[in-house]
């Protein structure tokens, strides 16, 4: 796209973001419908399918960037984007009805365990950035494989806890909503209830195809725009690209809080962030060399920022702050402040 004008590149980038958003809404609805009918989340294969569907924009950007040799953009979107994705909770918090914040209403410790899985997987990635390329086997970093192992084990344990918890908690005033999307909502018919399974699969496949196209458009136009603006690839991937690919999560998150599914909102964000890091293996396989070392110091900084923001919301679920300022909880106010400080500090990091 180097021969295209800047205005046209911006138009392509915005169009890619728009179709990613729209297709992401259809992906969210079809995966909800398929999970409810086929109980996909109760099996490892189903969990992988649901996770891939939820992270398809990031997967498309990762594949496109790795094919083009832009491993810095791929790494920035995968690990650096965790902080941006976590900030979606601030937006969702602003749409919660009533006078209590999102973290007060969650009423479950499952999101805390999901946040712990994010922190562990991000920590593995941070350690993987320190490994030299010489330890890679067939171009694949052992850290990329270990992230997959950690994620699978984490999801297995989370499923066991959901199905047979060994503890009971009481959180007066909480409104967690549905424990998972397979549970019927008392005031809303499940998506595509009037269609047969084949019809839902057809919409799912079409939404996947459109999302992939949107992701490729975002990556190709975005990398050229970043180059012309002199923006570091890691920073661009972790900010502008991460924001564009988070649009479906924003849409589905707002819809969920309006339905009262407060536990699902936080769980969806943490679950998507944990799986997103598995895309490092995809980047390694496509590029033929480890992508983690291409992260650089800015991505390490952003990944650390993602850990801090994740920990803030995990602790808030336990502490349950009751006050809201400017329609968001105290925890979200703190998260916004730390996020801004993190972005400012980013420009002091050598690239």
With beta carbons less than 8 A apart as the criterion, state whether 36 and 248 touch.
no
Integer Cα distance of 63 and 75 in angstroms = 11
Q: Max CA-CA distance within the chain?
A: 61
Contacts of 299 (CB under 8 A, 6+ apart): 72, 75, 76, 79, 80, 129, 234, 238
Q: Give the pLDDT of residue 292.
A: 83
Mean pLDDT over each residue of the chain, to the nearest integer: 84
Helix (H) or strand (E) holding 325, with range, is: strand 324-325
- CA separation (Å) from 77 to 32, 69, 183, 324? 25, 14, 32, 31
Residue of 40, 78, 134, 131 lying closest to 299 (CA atoms): 78
| 70-84, 185-199, 311-325 — most confident range | 311-325
Does 93 have pLDDT greater than 90? yes
pLDDT for position 91:
93
Q: What is the pLDDT, as a whole number, of residue 178?
A: 74
Q: How many CA atoms lie within 13 A of 94 on its CB side?
A: 9
What is the C-alpha separation between 122 and 306, in angstroms, rounded? Answer: 8
**Residue range 102-137, pLDDT digits in tens:** 999 998 888 999 999 999 999 999 888 888 877 888
Cα torsion for 153, 159, 163, 169, to the nearest 10°?
90
Domain count, the chain: 1
What does the pLDDT average to over 161-176? 82
Please report the pLDDT score of residue 170 as a whole number.
82
Average pLDDT rounded to a whole number, residues 87-115 = 91
Residues 6+ apart with CB under 8 A from 114: 158, 266, 267, 270, 271, 274
Whether 84 shows a pLDDT value over 60: the answer reads: yes
136 vs 142: CA distance, rounded Å: 6
CATH at 251: 1.20.1420.30
The two tokens of residue 187 are 């005031």
First to last CA, the chain: 25
Residue 185 lies in a domain: yes
CA 75 to mean position of chain CA atoms: 14
* pLDDT tens string 239-266: 777 888 888 888 888 888 888 888 888 8
**Within a domain: residue 77?**
yes
Specify burial of residue 194 (Cβ count, 10 A radius: 0-12, 13-18, 19+): exposed
Average pLDDT over residues 137-153: 90
Q: Output the six-digit token pair for 177.
A: 């909503």
Q: Is 109 helix (H, G, I), strand (E, B) or coil?
A: coil
Do the Cβ atoms of 93 and 50 come closer than 8 Å? Answer: no
Residue with more model confidence, 341 or 245: 341
- Whose tokens are 């909102």? That residue is 265
Give the residue numbers spanning the domain of 65: 6-346
Distance CA 35, CA 157 (A): 19
CA 340 to chain CA mean position, Å: 19
Tokens of 85: 């994705």
Residues 6+ apart with CB under 8 A from 66: 74, 282, 283, 286, 287, 291
Residue at 276 is within a domain: yes
Question: Could you report the per-residue pLDDT of 5-63, keeping only the tens digit for each?
Answer: 888 888 998 998 898 888 888 887 888 787 777 776 656 555 667 677 777 888 888 88
Residue 176 lies in a domain: yes
| Res 287 pLDDT > 80 | yes
In the three-class reduction of DSSP (H, G, I as helix; E, B as strand; rest coil), residue 128 is classed as: helix
In a domain, 351, yes or no: no
Residue 332 has pLDDT above 70, yes or no: yes
**Does residue 1 lie in a domain region?**
no
Neighbours of 183 (CB within 10 A): 13
> Would you state the pLDDT for residue 185?
67
Buried b (16+ CB within 10 A) or exposed e, 56-95: bbbbbbbbbbbebebbbbbbbbbbbbbbbbbbbbbbbbbb
Distances (CA, A) of 49 to 24, 34, 60: 15, 10, 15
Q: Which residue has the higher pLDDT, 79 or 262?
A: 262
pTM score, two decimals?
A: 0.86
């Amino acid at each position: 796209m180097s021969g295209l004008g800047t205005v046209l590149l911006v138009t392509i980038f915005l169009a890619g973001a728009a179709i990613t958003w729209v297709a992401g809404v259809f992906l969210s609805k079809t995966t909800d419908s398929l999970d409810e009918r086929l109980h996909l989340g109760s099996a490892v294969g189903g969990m992988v399918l649901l996770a891939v569907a939820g992270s398809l924009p990031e997967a498309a950007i990762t594949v496109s960037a790795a094919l083009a040799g832009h491993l810095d953009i791929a790494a920035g979107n995968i690990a650096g984007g965790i902080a941006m994705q976590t900030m979606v909770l601030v937006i969702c918090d602003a749409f919660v009805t009533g006078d209590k914040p999102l973290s007060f209403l969650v009423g479950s410790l499952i999101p805390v365990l999901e946040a712990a899985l994010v922190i562990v997987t991000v920590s593995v990635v941070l350690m993987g950035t320190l490994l030299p390329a010489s330890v890679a086997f067939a171009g694949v970093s052992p850290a990329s494989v270990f992230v997959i192992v950690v994620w699978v084990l984490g999801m297995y344990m989370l499923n066991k806890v959901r199905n047979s918890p060994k503890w009971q908690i009481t959180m007066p005033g909480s409104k967690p909503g549905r424990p998972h999307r397979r549970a019927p909502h008392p005031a809303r018919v499940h998506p595509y209830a009037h269609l047969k399974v084949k019809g839902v699969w057809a919409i799912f496949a079409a939404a996947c195809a459109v999302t992939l196209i949107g992701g490729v458009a975002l990556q190709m136009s975005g990398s050229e725009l970043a180059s012309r603006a002199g923006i570091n690839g890691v920073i661009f991937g972790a900010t502008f690209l991460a924001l564009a690919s988070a649009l479906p999560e924003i849409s589905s998150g707002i819809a969920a809080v309006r339905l009262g599914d407060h536990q699902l909102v936080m769980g969806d964000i943490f679950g998507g962030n944990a799986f997103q890091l598995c895309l490092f293996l995809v980047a390694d396989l496509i590029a033929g060399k480890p992508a983690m070392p291409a992260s650089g110091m800015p991505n390490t900084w952003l990944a650390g920022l993602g850990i801090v923001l994740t920990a803030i919301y995990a602790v808030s679920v336990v502490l349950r702050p009751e006050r809201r300022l400017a329609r968001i909880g105290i925890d979200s106010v703190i998260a916004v402040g730390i996020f801004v400080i993190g972005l400012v500090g980013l420009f002091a990091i050598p690239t």
